[in-house]
Amino acid sequence: MRRHIVRLAMAATLTLSGQVPLATPASAYQVDCAILLCLAGGWPASAPCAHARAVFIRRITPWPIEPPLQIWRCPMGVAFSPLESPGPAERLFDTAFQATLPRQSFPDDGQVIKVQTTDGADIDISGDAFDFVRSIRVYHIQYRQHENRDGDCNRSDSTRLGSYGVQGDYRWTRSNVGQVPAASGLSIPNGCGSYFYRSVFVDWRDHAGNYGSEEVRY
């Protein structure tokens, strides 16, 4: 399985732009498979990966704050079925970029999806080859502090953490600003100076372990 993901990441990095003609609209592939491929490969420069990354970031832009990778929307079971020609990495690649409409973040009835889900990948991704999926962390940062008339410091911290489980299932848990990575723009002043910070911060590591992050202030 590790070999297949390495090949997948290499395909995304080295040949992605060549697999989709420039005239092909960015919507002509399943976006969550594209996110999986492009994230694994370190977001290589190409029109499909630029669109995949834009969707990845849009999903954490309020409202609602969604799982940036919705791996349960990518039919990996088809790509990683028993070995045959073409190989599993190539077939996942083909699944991602076949000429079909992307799977969107909203169901047919127009209602937004739940931001916490027990759904996961349709194959076993518990091995370390898929650690890059579990490396994704989403911090919904909501912090405020000020000093009242009596000189008391009032602090409010409603920070939450969105993370992925063993099979790519997504959940929210309580967190705090002390857990927010240094790459965030959060900078709480010393003492109790008046300060308010609200954002959604996401970070990850690609298949090679390279670190990346984005933050959306609102």
Q: What is the pLDDT of residue 63?
A: 84
Burial tier of 9 (Cβ tally within 10 Å: 0-12, 13-18, 19+): buried
Residue 58, pLDDT > 80, answer yes
Average pLDDT of the chain, as a whole number: 78
The residue whose two tokens read 């991704």 is 125
Instruction: Show the DSSP H helices in the chain as ranges.
Output: 2-19, 31-40, 47-58, 76-79, 88-96, 131-134
- Residue of 1, 128, 116, 11 lying closest to 70 (CA atoms): 116
Tokens of 139: 């911090």
3-state SS string over 53-75?
HHHHHHCCCCCCCCCCCCHHHCC
Instruction: Answer for the pair 35, 56: CB distance below 8 angstroms, yes or no.
Output: yes
The Cα–Cα gap between 142 and 163 comes to 17
pLDDT tens-digit map of 179-215: 999 999 999 998 899 999 999 999 999 999 999 999 9
pLDDT tens-digit map of 119-169: 788 888 998 889 999 999 999 999 999 999 888 999 999 999 999 999 999
Sequence-ordered list of residues with C-beta below 8 angstroms from that of 19, at least 6 positions apart, any chain: 11, 93, 97
The Cα–Cα gap between 115 and 162 comes to 9
